[in-house]
Structure 1
Amino acid sequence: MEPRPEKRTRTEPEAEAEPKQLLPDDLVLEIVARCPTIAGVIRCAAASKPVRRGILHASFLRRLRGFLNRSGGEHGGQAPLSVRKLLLGLYHQSGDPRGQPAFVPVPDGASLPPSVAALPPASARDGAAGGSACEFGPYLPVASRRSLLVLRRRCRNRATDHLVGRHGLHPVELSVCNPSTGERRVLPPHDVLDMSHSLLDVDPIAPSSFKLLVAELSDGDPSTLYVQIFSSEEGDWGPPLACPITISRGDREDSCEFACAARRPRPVVLGDTVHWLCTTDSGDRILTWRWRGGAAQKASIVKLPRGYKFGRPEKCLAVLPSPAGDAAGSQAALLSLIVLDRGEIEVWAREKSGAGSARKWKLWHRVQEASIPRPTDFCNGWLSGAELSWFCKGSGTLFLQAGDETVSPLLLDLESMEVSKLEARKWELNPEPEFCPYEVDLLSYMLFVMKRF
């Protein structure tokens, strides 16, 4: 046996160079939590590995968010801090049943691994249900919010005993993942047909906490909204709800269907209410459902603004901050409508004209194509014929699909009104352009960044 090498003793200069933590860990983390900016927290994490481990702990990150909300954080005001979101890019269906969705980063965006976290191994029940395994199609990204991404794939195994035993009413599998932390959760079967997906109550700090809503407007019962919510804390779906759709006078709406140029609706979440663009017998409307509180047993219809462009212009829902704010100085988020028609963009918001008054639509902006700063390689008329695809609430960015399939998807920043484009052609994303933007909040992104050092 070879003799063990003697342990090398550190020289006096080396011992002096290694930093010593003189304060207890709890006191150090309390000081870090009072940093006025997220960047300050990251600088503190670079001081030593013990401090970094404490900062990356989920309990500290939640305490940090609470401190920022109470103090106003980077803004230095009395209003709670809305932690900023970063638009990193988009995920799109790759077409390969064995592959993950492909990722396309935004220009000059923050770096992110090009694929989502690896799937967990198939469970034993996949082969035990009916004696046959699932034959899944490719993943389809269907929703995202605050660092979480919802993926959907369909089982192609048509054996009746397998479908009933493994998937229940619908042969699909839903999973929720956090690409910045590597988490992935495969959800159990659900009862409501998942025509639309919305993430609710999202806390992306590992382990991620969320609620996922699936919604259905059935052809057989077009006057009822069917919904079901999965809770990560309970680990299961709640009971399916049948919510009658009513109009302003309390009458029942005869017919309602999701209005979407793409294959899947693009709902927006504002507080405890989910909003969809829809089509009724009276024309285009907004379908709303309040998922928390006593109003969860019914859905209602909101009319579009009277002065907006009639016909069938491109439009999508958005959530934008109020420019004025309330009496306390905080900025209230408002339901907004973005309309695109013949090279002109209109931005409408549903706001109150005074205390206690009902919300009414107001035209905020009317923007001509010529007034939008654009790259030099954009030709005149680039906005004409474009399609509105997604609104990214966290970053205030609007995704546009150009009318020409050889042109890259466009990104319009609604705050600066500057446009840029992705380094991918429309036909490269997917023959059925199904993609989903991916945003992270800074706290979740901090987890990803600090794992590198």
Structure 2
Amino acid sequence: MKRRASTAATLPDELVVEILARVTDVPAVFRCATACKRWRRLIADPFFLRDCWPKCAHHPPSYVLGFFDTRIKPPVTPAFVPLPRLAAGLGRNFIVSFPSGCAALLDHAVALASRGGLLLVRRKVDEEGNILRSTVHQLVVCDPISGTCNVLPRLVCQGSFGEHHAILTDADICSSGQRPLRGFPASFKVIVLAMHHGLFTLHTFSSGDPSWSSTKQCFEQPGGRRPLVFGPPNAVVCHGAPHWLVWNWAARFPTFFTLGVSAETSHVFLTKISTSYFSHLHDFPRLSVSAEGALSLLCLRKDGRLLETWTRQDNRESKDGGPDWLPSPVIEVNLPKQRRIHEAGPYVCLSERNGVLLIKDTDEHRVYLADIKAGAPIEEVTDSFYGLSSTKGIVPFEVDLLDFFISRLGSE
């Protein structure tokens, strides 16, 4: 045993790095880093991490760590539910941390959106709006990895049917798409979109600005006077612009649109999606971003076995005049066969981010987690998400792997 340990210790760093680079599972890499100081130093080296993901040197790969669940009471700070395999391998407190000084600041805070390791939350505000039918919001941008918080100026929203939020990071708003590896991002941008009878009010705040900026935009309601209905509250960010899925019931089947916001011009744009794709599906589709960075749609079949996907083709025009959507190969989900196929379901997809799905069996009220990108086994997480019936209050939390590794491992 002593001879083997001595032999391993004499291996050159180059060979050890070559061996460690073959470990692709994130929890396994962390466990390797805790084996000894030497391995920790080698793994925490930014050059090693870049070599692990050479195609993503300027756009670090995103990784879903878990979900913030604002339904959990009492919400002293936003409750975090890590992916089971991460919690088992790393520990819940190792993944995210809110310092004790933030407890009062984040008391009863509600998670709204996340992006690139940043979390946007809304604090409870006792003050009522001083304008008729207005609401006062106190938003905070948190970095749960470094444990820092940035309190934004208060925002007054008037007479809306609800607000929809997004947060952008340096990788979204910088032309180069590159962001620092260490510490709090140099800049961020918060977008709050409020809608009222076809009138959109866009509130934006950029780090370093003294106050919010607000613009109004009105366009004709598609499908007559039927109001637009927002889908899942979590926006997806594609090419630096947040997008939401919206629809109205102007016909027998809902008409779907993507609603996007330009981060540069603050222009709100609505793009129709052909309804022929979804007339046979029982569940509403969800917006996502493909591995190639294109806007995509996904929808889970009723039996929970297959996931249908479509990818937007900006260079091709559909019959409706908008961008065409091409179907992609169907993805097998393979949920547990607890009942016969004709009795199974209906299954619905409650949340998706970067290939990680929360799926609910609405008959047996079971919740499953599927990581289709990693190909990990399906896990039942009913106990962690007991009573979950919709996406409201659930915010997926993903980080840039390079930032997360360096922040947690350090460089020694």
Query: Normalising to structure 2: TM-score of the pair?
Result: 0.70
1:243 aligns with 2:231: no
Aligned position for 1:10: none
The C-alpha deviation readout for 1:304-345, integer Å capped at 9, x for no partner, is 4533335752321110024xxxxxxxxxx1111112242243
The residue type equivalent to 2:204 in the other structure is I
Q: Which residue, out of 64, 67, 72, partners 1:90?
A: 67
Report if the CA contact (8 A) 1:245-1:300 is conserved.
no
Report if the CA contact (8 A) 1:223-1:252 is conserved.
no
Cα distance in 1, alignment partners of residues 100 and 225 from structure 2:
45
Residues 255 and 415 of structure 1: CA distance in aligned 2, closer, same or farther (over 3 Å): farther
Residues 272 and 423 of structure 1: CA distance in aligned 2, closer, same or farther (over 3 Å): same
1:388 aligns with 2:358: no
3-state SS, counterpart of residue 445 of structure 1? helix
Q: Which residue, out of 77, 81, 88, partners 1:100?
A: 77
Cα distance in 2, alignment partners of residues 230 and 190 from structure 1:
10
Map 1:171-320 → 2, pairs under 5 A: 171-192=136-157, 195-202=163-170, 205-208=182-185, 209-218=187-196, 222-237=197-212, 239-245=213-219, 254-260=225-231, 265-280=233-248, 282=250, 283-294=254-265, 296-304=266-274, 306-310=276-280, 313-320=283-290
Residues 242 and 424 of structure 1: CA distance in aligned 2, closer, same or farther (over 3 Å): same
**What's the % identity of the aligned pairs?**
19
The residue type equivalent to 2:229 in the other structure is F
Q: Which residues of structure 1 form unaligned runs of 5+?
A: 1-31, 124-135, 323-332
Cα distance in 1, alignment partners of residues 258 and 383 from structure 2:
33
1:148 aligns with 2:118: yes
Q: Structure 1 residue 191: deviation in Å?
A: 3.2
Residues 116 and 312 of structure 1: CA distance in aligned 2, closer, same or farther (over 3 Å): farther
Residues 86 and 383 of structure 1: CA distance in aligned 2, closer, same or farther (over 3 Å): farther
1:362 aligns with 2:320: no
Aligned position for 2:8: none
Cα distance in 1, alignment partners of residues 373 and 344 from structure 2:
15
Report if the CA contact (8 A) 1:339-1:345 is conserved.
yes
Aligned position for 2:98: 116
Aligned position for 2:3: none
Cα distance in 2, alignment partners of residues 268 and 341 from structure 1:
22
Cα distance in 2, alignment partners of residues 121 and 372 from structure 1:
39
Map 1:299-378 → 2, pairs under 5 A: 299-304=269-274, 306-310=276-280, 313-322=283-292, 333-343=293-303, 344-352=306-314, 359-367=323-331, 371-374=332-335, 378=338
3-state SS, counterpart of residue 191 of structure 1? strand
Cα distance in 1, alignment partners of residues 101 and 75 from structure 2:
10
Size of the aligned set, in residue pairs, is: 357
1:421 aligns with 2:380: yes
Residues 446 and 364 of structure 1: CA distance in aligned 2, closer, same or farther (over 3 Å): same
The residue type equivalent to 1:299 in the other structure is F
Cα distance in 2, alignment partners of residues 48 and 336 from structure 1:
39
Aligned position for 1:19: none
Q: Structure 1 residue 205: deviation in Å?
A: 4.0
Residues 353 and 379 of structure 1: CA distance in aligned 2, closer, same or farther (over 3 Å): farther
Residues 363 and 279 of structure 1: CA distance in aligned 2, closer, same or farther (over 3 Å): same
Cα distance in 2, alignment partners of residues 342 and 94 from structure 1:
27
The residue type equivalent to 1:258 in the other structure is V
Residues 434 and 442 of structure 1: CA distance in aligned 2, closer, same or farther (over 3 Å): same
Cα distance in 2, alignment partners of residues 276 and 314 from structure 1:
13
Point out the structure with max Rg over C-alpha.
1
Is 279-288 or 143-152 further displaced after alignment?
279-288
The residue type equivalent to 1:386 in the other structure is Y
Residues 165 and 446 of structure 1: CA distance in aligned 2, closer, same or farther (over 3 Å): farther
Residues 360 and 151 of structure 1: CA distance in aligned 2, closer, same or farther (over 3 Å): same
The CA RMSD over aligned residues, in Å, is: 4.4
Q: Structure 1 residue 256: deviation in Å?
A: 4.0
Q: Structure 1 residue 103: deviation in Å?
A: 2.1
Report if the CA contact (8 A) 2:368-2:381 is conserved.
yes
Residues 252 and 151 of structure 1: CA distance in aligned 2, closer, same or farther (over 3 Å): same
Cα distance in 1, alignment partners of residues 203 and 367 from structure 2:
36
Cα distance in 1, alignment partners of residues 135 and 219 from structure 2:
24
Report if the CA contact (8 A) 2:352-2:358 is conserved.
yes
Map 1:407-418 → 2, pairs under 5 A: 407-414=366-373, 416=375
Cα distance in 2, alignment partners of residues 316 and 422 from structure 1:
21
Q: Structure 1 residue 211: deviation in Å?
A: 1.0
Cα distance in 2, alignment partners of residues 305 and 76 from structure 1:
39
Q: Structure 1 residue 244: deviation in Å?
A: 2.6
The C-alpha deviation readout for 1:47-93, integer Å capped at 9, x for no partner, is 699x99xx89xxxx7xx79x95xxxx44556x755312222221212
Cα distance in 2, alignment partners of residues 374 and 252 from structure 1:
38
The residue type equivalent to 1:214 in the other structure is V
Cα distance in 2, alignment partners of residues 165 and 254 from structure 1:
31
Cα distance in 1, alignment partners of residues 267 and 403 from structure 2:
34
Cα distance in 2, alignment partners of residues 74 and 443 from structure 1:
10
Cα distance in 1, alignment partners of residues 71 and 344 from structure 2:
27
Cα distance in 1, alignment partners of residues 315 and 363 from structure 2:
41
Report if the CA contact (8 A) 2:115-2:169 is conserved.
no
Residues 165 and 245 of structure 1: CA distance in aligned 2, closer, same or farther (over 3 Å): closer
Q: Structure 1 residue 444: deviation in Å?
A: 2.3
Aligned position for 1:437: 396
